[in-house]
Structure 1
Amino acid sequence: MPQSITELLGDAAESLLGHECQTIDRGRLHVPGPDFLERVVANSDRNQRVINQLARLFGHGRLSGTGYVSILPVDQGIEHSAGASFAPNPDYFDPENIVRLAMEGGCNAVASTIGVLGAVSRKYAHRIPFLVKINHNELLSYPNSYDQVMFASVDRAYDLGATAVGATIYFGSDESRRQIIEVAEAFEHAHELGMATVLWCYLRNSEFKKDKDYHTSADLTGQANHLGVTLQADIIKQKLPTNNGGYNAIKFGKTSPLVYEDLTTDHPIDLCRYQVANCYMGRAGLINSGGASSGASDLAEAVKTAVINKRAGGTGLISGRKAFQRPMADGVELLNRIQDVYLDSNIKVA
């Protein structure tokens, strides 16, 4: 008998399922829902073709029509090396199995490289939305430089039938301003062609590590989200916040004491709520990443992340390694359990 969501949350169940946010009230948010495109996106400057592709994205898979998304991302063959990513399950060296996992797992879309999706596009691009990641950080150069460079063009993604393009910016890095220019131009062109855009808003700077690692602080990741939405990303991908006070620890940049006194607490839902607020109060959907695979605890960790994201006002989860670094049936089960959080009407925005 599968464990219930409450059982998977364990000792954290009461805190996560019973929490009521006293910082930024949910009434201020543009929360996900079946009418999200008509209620929010249709009022923007997105052209009808972009709205059509967003409708395809939100209308596919088990979460179709809910306003939430579950996306399978598999670009780790470049980002982390193919060996590190696929050795636990060599079937995923074959791009077709990546797409099959997303389809059988009931995902809204599959996100991967131009190589992976291009290899099987004629067989699958009309069957599940493709999200083509156009830039990557390859880690074969020595010493590593931690830079995102373009691997594919927007036009190439359009030609293979992509619904959306995705990119990463390492905000805070020496290369971030170049990346901002490249991604802004790419996203503008993608919108002109009628494709949606998804931005991985990651932080990268050795100075963000002080007494703890502030690469996942709510205040700094929130600002990265705000920059990403300003670049007109339709969906923001961000790591779940694990702490706060990055601005104060680094002693650089500007913030306000009210961020810590009124707009956040130490509760994980409140920290994630601040990320949502920086996505123009939810006008751009926030999807949190599922994180690395850690074995037996993967299912519980994924469900916990989904609960935090949903109750904070987020739009879904993008989870890869936890799903593809195991047999396909187990990966499908994990993806379905994540989706069950968003399908459960008893789990509401806090």
Structure 2
Amino acid sequence: MAKTAELLGANAEHLLGHVCKTIPKESLHLPGPDFVDRVFAASDRNNRVLGNLQRMFGGGRLAGTGFLSILPVDQGIEHSGGASFAKNPIYFDPENIVKLAMEGGCNAVASTYGVLGMVSRKYAHKIPFMVKINHNELLTFPNKADQIMWGTIKEAYDMGCAAVGATIYFGSAESGRQIVEVAKAFQMAHELGMATVLWCYLRNNAFKTKEKDYHVSADLTGQANHLGVTIEADIIKQKLPENNGGFEALNMGGSSYGKFDKKIYTELASDHPIDLCRYQIANCYMGRAGLINSGGESKGAGDLEAAVMTAVINKRAGGMGLISGRKAFQRPMKEGAAILNAIQDVYLDSSVTVA
């Protein structure tokens, strides 16, 4: 724990010494070596899905722990290739994306149909593939936020994917269509034996006020997670919560939005980051669907410390791991792999316990 505490700096005691007094850890289905047997074996997932889940849990440096470290690189579409790879142009080449995931000891690599398809015969049997089936293209003028399908589940199956991933922009005008599209895609993915991972993101201009950005509030992201597990996402990807009170704020001034209970803010969560993340996990069927938090953008200096902090919050809340991309691929491969390893070290450190 000494190295983790050093990287956390002034936040070490606040994060490592916290005891959760909201939702007790005994209520959670925590990650562990037997997670597939303990949780998914009782579900409606078929044997092939169980096999691919176990394959992901059995790969990389976190093999056999029940935790996941995934490298996601779909930013070439989501954020444009130039903006994403200008700092490190080698990642225009799909093979280097897969190489980074392997060099970094990841459980799986997540990317586009094009990236994974281009190198699938060489690598699909060496590291679990997760194809991202929908994207927000960034070339329409003016830019719009809408996730659209870029391929078929059959294509993902044919290239040997262990899992498929998708995004829904909950709260957006297009979310109804996206929910239907992704639900159907996930049903087919399960039928063919692939696991399902859902990016449960929020998109609505009303969620951002002058005071706060409620796109990262625990209550709104928690509800997005709850919708995600409803369409049978096996794993939920979510941004780490930074605040709370989204429903409450959006109901001020005579507006009527959603439904909430004051206990969300008093008994089910506090303002501590671990408690906020635990509320996200509670909405993932108390951890029956694992929560992996995203690593966020790369800011250069401070990326290592920020990544370790996110990992500590996720693990101590009862989460399943991190899915971190830009902090890794927007720097030389050796440095990127070192950041991925530092994240994994948090999950390998038995002294960093669930709060």
The TM-score bracket by the shorter chain reads over 0.9
> Residue 260 of structure 2: SS of its match in structure 1?
coil
Unpaired stretches in structure 2, ≥5 consecutive residues: 252-256
In the alignment, the residues of structure 1 paired with residue 95 and residue 104 of structure 2 have an alpha-carbon distance, to the nearest angstrom, of: 14
User: Match for residue 239 of structure 1?
Assistant: 239
Look up the equivalent residue of 2:308 and give its one-letter code.
Answer: V
Alignment correspondent of 1:48: 47
Q: Given the alignment, which residue of 306, 320, 328 partners 1:323?
A: 328
Aligned AA (1:20): V
Alpha-carbon distance between aligned partners in 2 of 1:156 and 1:41, rounded to the nearest angstrom? 25
Which residue of 2 is the match for residue 191 of structure 1?
Answer: 190
Q: How does 1:168-207 map to 2 (within 5 A)?
A: 168-207=167-206
Q: Distance in 2 between matches of 1:73 and 1:209?
A: 26
Other-structure match for 1:22: 21
> Could you say which residue in structure 1 is the equivalent of 2:153?
154
Q: How high is the TM-score relative to the length of structure 1? A: 0.99
Give 1:248's aligned residue: 248
Letter in 2 for 1:142: F
CA RMSD of aligned residues (A): 0.6
* Distance of 1:269 and 1:261 partners within structure 2: 15
In 1, Cα distance between equivalents of 2:105 and 2:99: 10
The corresponding residue for 1:293 is 298
| C-alpha distance in 1 between matches for 2:275 and 2:177 | 33
- For 1:213, the equivalent position in structure 2 comes to 213
Q: 2:343 aligns to what? A: 338
Partners of 1:323 and 1:51 lie apart in 2 by 29
Alignment correspondent of 1:67 = 66
Query: In the aligned structure 2, how far is the partner of 1:152 from the partner of 1:71?
Result: 21
SS in 2 for 1:106: coil
Instruction: Summarize deviations over 1:218-272 as a string: whole Å, max 9, x none.
Output: 0000000000000100000000000000001111110101111100000000000
Provide the rounded CA distance (Å) in 1 between the counterparts of 2:221 and 2:95.
34
Deviations 1:85-124 (A, max 9, x none): 0000000000000000000100000000000000000000
Cα distance per residue 1:259-304 (max 9 Å; x no partner): 1110000000000000000000000000000000001100000000
Q: Tell me the equivalent position of 1:164.
A: 163
Residue type of the partner of 1:71?
Answer: I
Shift of 1:4: 1.3
Give the corresponding residue for 1:90.
89
Runs of 4+ in 1 over 2 A off after TM superposition: none
Q: Show the 5 A alignment for 1:87-166.
A: 87-166=86-165
Which letter does structure 1 place at the counterpart of 2:341?
N
Q: Give the counterpart letter for 1:114 in structure 2.
A: Y
Q: 2:3: which partner in 1?
A: 4
- For these two proteins, the number of residue pairs brought into alignment is 348
Task: Provide the secondary structure at the position in 2 that maps to 1:4.
Answer: helix
Counterparts of 2:298 and 2:266, CA distance in 1? 34
| 1:215 partner SS | helix
Give me the whole-angstrom Cα distance separating, in 2, the residues matched to 1:197 and 1:37. 14
In the alignment, the residues of structure 1 paired with residue 354 and residue 6 of structure 2 have an alpha-carbon distance, to the nearest angstrom, of: 20
Alpha-carbon offset, residue 18 of structure 1: 0.6
Question: Residue in 2 aligned with 1:81?
Answer: 80
For 2:3 and 2:88, how far apart are their aligned partners in 1? 27
Letter in 2 for 1:127: K
1:227 match: 227
Deviations 1:120-168 (A, max 9, x none): 0000000000000000000100111200000011000000000000000
Q: Once the two structures are aligned, what percentage of the paired residues are identical?
A: 73
User: Which whole-Å CA distance do the structure 1 matches of 2:277 and 2:333 have between them?
Assistant: 30
TM-score by length of 2: 0.98
Secondary structure of the equivalent of 2:182? helix
Aligned-partner Cα distance in 2 for 1:212–1:39: 39
Counterpart of 1:271 in structure 2 is: 276
